[in-house]
């Protein structure tokens, strides 16, 4: 849950950042400011989980990385399915390009691994002793 929280909170921060960019294109300074506050809040949540994850890495690097691989491989943003008229709303959200798999890889996963001191080559290397 900590590793999911760490990932999800950063993804949420990125999501609000990109939404804020769209709002700025349309010119709504009050909403832009509000989104800026939310972004910072989400970033703080991420930072808490990241600090706990760093402790896990110190105690069990291989196990923590294996769990993180599992989180990343199954990661999905929460609550999308809860939107009214879900399919249409999800399609509208996707059309805004505020969050997608490429953004996840570039703005969430890679910076996250960098912050944890995990090289991409190490992250991609599955531990052969663990089965899942």
The footprint of Fe ion (CB under 5 A) covers: 9, 42, 45
| Cβ at position 42, least distance to Fe ion in Å | 5
Secondary element (H or E) of residue 29? helix 29-59
- Pick between residue 12 and residue 64 the one whose CB is nearest to Fe ion: 12
| Cβ at position 8, least distance to Fe ion in Å | 8
- Pick between residue 63 and residue 115 the one whose CB is nearest to Fe ion: 115
- Pick between residue 48 and residue 120 the one whose CB is nearest to Fe ion: 48
Contacts (Cβ under 8 Å, ≥6 apart) of 91? none
| Cβ at position 77, least distance to Fe ion in Å | 12
- Is the Cα torsion angle 113, 116, 121, 127 positive or negative in sign? negative
Residue 21 phi, psi (nearest 5): -60, -40
Residue 129 phi, psi (nearest 5): -85, -15
Q: Among all residues, whose Cβ is closest to Fe ion?
A: 45
- Pick between residue 6 and residue 65 the one whose CB is nearest to Fe ion: 6
- Pick between residue 50 and residue 65 the one whose CB is nearest to Fe ion: 50
Identify the burial level of 30 via C-beta atoms within 10 angstroms of its C-beta, where 0-12 means exposed, 13-18 middle and 19 or more buried.
exposed
| Cβ at position 60, least distance to Fe ion in Å | 26
Going by C-alpha positions, the residue among 49, 52, 65 that lies closest to residue 122 is: 65
| Cβ at position 124, least distance to Fe ion in Å | 28
């Amino acid at each position: 849950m900590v590793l999911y929280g760490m990932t999800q909170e950063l993804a949420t921060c990125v999501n609000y950042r990109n939404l804020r960019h769209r709002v700025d294109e349309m010119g709504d300074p009050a909403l832009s400011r509000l989104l800026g506050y939310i972004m910072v809040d989400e970033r703080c949540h991420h930072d808490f989980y990241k600090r706990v994850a760093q402790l896990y890495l110190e105690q069990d690097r291989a196990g923590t990385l294996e769990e993180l691989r599992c989180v990343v491989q199954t990661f999905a943003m929460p609550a999308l399915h809860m939107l009214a008229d879900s399919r249409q709303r999800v399609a509208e959200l996707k059309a805004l390009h505020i969050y997608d798999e490429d953004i996840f890889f570039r703005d969430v996963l890679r910076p996250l691994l960098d912050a944890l001191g995990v090289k991409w080559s190490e992250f991609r290397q599955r531990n052969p002793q663990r089965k899942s």
